[in-house]
Amino acid sequence: MVQADPRDANYIASANKALAATQAADYATLGMQLARRQIDIDDITRRVAAFRVAIPSWGVGTGGTRFGRFPGAGEPRNVFEKLEDCAVIHRLTAATPTVSLHLPWDRTDDFVALREHAAGLGLGFDAMNSNTFQDQPNQPLSYKFGSLTHTDPAVRAQAVAHNIECIKAGAILGSRALTVWIGDGANFPGQSHLGKAFERYLESTAAIYKALPADWRLFLEHKMYEPAFYATVIQDWGSSLMAAQALGPKAFCLVDLGHHAPNVNIEMIVARLIHAQRLGGFHFNDSKYGDDDLDAGSIEPFRLFLVFNELVEAELAKAPGFNPAHMLDQSHNVTDPIESLMTSAIELQRAYAQALIVERAKLAGFRAANDVLMSAQTLKRGFTTDVAPILAQARASKGGAIDPIAAYRDSGYRLRCGQTRPGKQSLGGGIV
């Protein structure tokens, strides 16, 4: 192991040197394969290199489950240190130039200093996330029975004020969106009036909407269940779309991949939201059962590809109003979060590249002829092609690492953090 800063361009260049020859050979071979399909590999590489996804600040600390948390060595102890880890991810992958903050977890009394710290690390800020699903120390009113939809107007006002605080902090940081996810709902039939709770949601979010600067977007995030186990106020994309349409043109729906019932066809939801011109963005992650925060592409890479297939369709068709924000939203319980986040960013690029190389004219022809088998095979050929050389080329072209995990491990960064960031047990992030 060399003792090096993984953010140092010279270090990355020297790590790349050893891999350059095999990378060039693999890229040339894939280039020839794609040329036979009339696809220009360099064009795909350029598009992949332009792909961006935001890192969730809460993702760089070790997560946990409701049974326990096993902290990793050298976890960031505050938002400034979280940004340092985010910079490592960005330098090595060249795909994550922005960070999505969560208040109050990332609260600081000097957002100007935070903005400067980020700029010094080559980072900017993506959407702000509010948190009214937990009580904070010294908070006057409790969210135990809800926040934006609480029966007590004073609790709703407190939750609205918190969202406005997030907008104000984000305005200093250069963010241009607020993501609202609430845990409000009911654990028992009868506990809550399902219709009135939704009406209270609309009233509260309208007050937040009013406080948005002109160039901001409001992302409404739905989730089927948890922490409410019987009914959640914004449980699905239908509720979120109704709310977005009621609020106005700056309100959009955010699709967190982990927030649906098992077997739900998420790419279909994406297609519908694109049609409605209300797809605001994504929280990418993966899931198998009830968890909503596994690493993107780790369980169902084909589903991820199918989601990106819809995004590429919309991109190529220049679908009106299509400008989704890409964010990761994950919790890493048993891996080094930096490694998981780098891998996840790359998995998104992989799905994007696979979708980009689908032979769309051919696919359209097979669809028109109702050739079901060839339609399916043509689509799947994008997925089964190994696009890894494109991803490595895209990274290297932007100063990133050909093999980010190896370069990260070899640098000894985490071990050094273990020494320079002694003992912090909790980031105040609950189970995340």
Q: Is 62 or 411 the residue whose CB approaches ligand RM4 more closely?
A: 62
Q: Does 295 bind Mn ion (CB under 5 A)?
A: no
- Out of 81, 85, 292, 313, the only residue in the binding site for Mn ion (CB under 5 A) is 292
222 binds, among ligand RM4, Mn ion, none (CB under 5 to 8 A by kind): none
- Residue facing ligand RM4 at closest CB distance: 181
User: Do residues 244 and 217 lie in contact, with contact meaning Cβ atoms separated by under 8 Å?
Assistant: no
Biggest distance spanned by C-alpha atoms of the chain: 66
Selected range binding Mn ion among 14-22, 84-92, 279-287, 413-421, rule: CB under 5 A: 279-287
Note whether 51 and 352 are within 8 A (CB): yes
* Burial (Cβ within 10 Å: 0-12, 13-18, ≥19) of residue 365: middle
Interface mask toward ligand RM4 for 203-232; x: CB under 6 A: ------------------x-x---------
**129 interacts with, out of Mn ion, ligand RM4, none, CB within 5 to 8 A per kind:** ligand RM4
Q: How many residues bind Mn ion (CB under 5 A)?
A: 4
User: Which residues between 241 and 270 bind ligand RM4 (CB under 6 A)?
Assistant: 256
Q: Evaluate whether 115 touches 172 at the Cβ level (below 8 Å).
A: yes
d(CA 273, CA 69): 36
> Measuring CA to CA, which residue among 76, 89, 74 is closest to residue 123?
89
x/- track of binding to Mn ion for residues 309-348 (CB under 5 A): --------------------x-------------------
| Amino acid (1-letter code) at residue 206 | A
Q: Is 126 in the site for ligand RM4 (CB under 6 A)?
A: no
Number of Cβ atoms within 10 Å of the Cβ of 317: 10
Nearer to ligand RM4 among residue 57 and residue 385 (C-beta): 57
Burial of 53 (0-12, 13-18, 19+ CB in 10 A): buried
Instruction: Provide CB contacts within 8 A for 46, sequence distance 6+.
Output: 394
Nearer to Mn ion, 150 or 283 (CB): 283
**Residues lying near ligand RM4 in the complex (CB under 6 A):** 102, 129, 181, 221, 223, 256, 283, 292, 329, 432
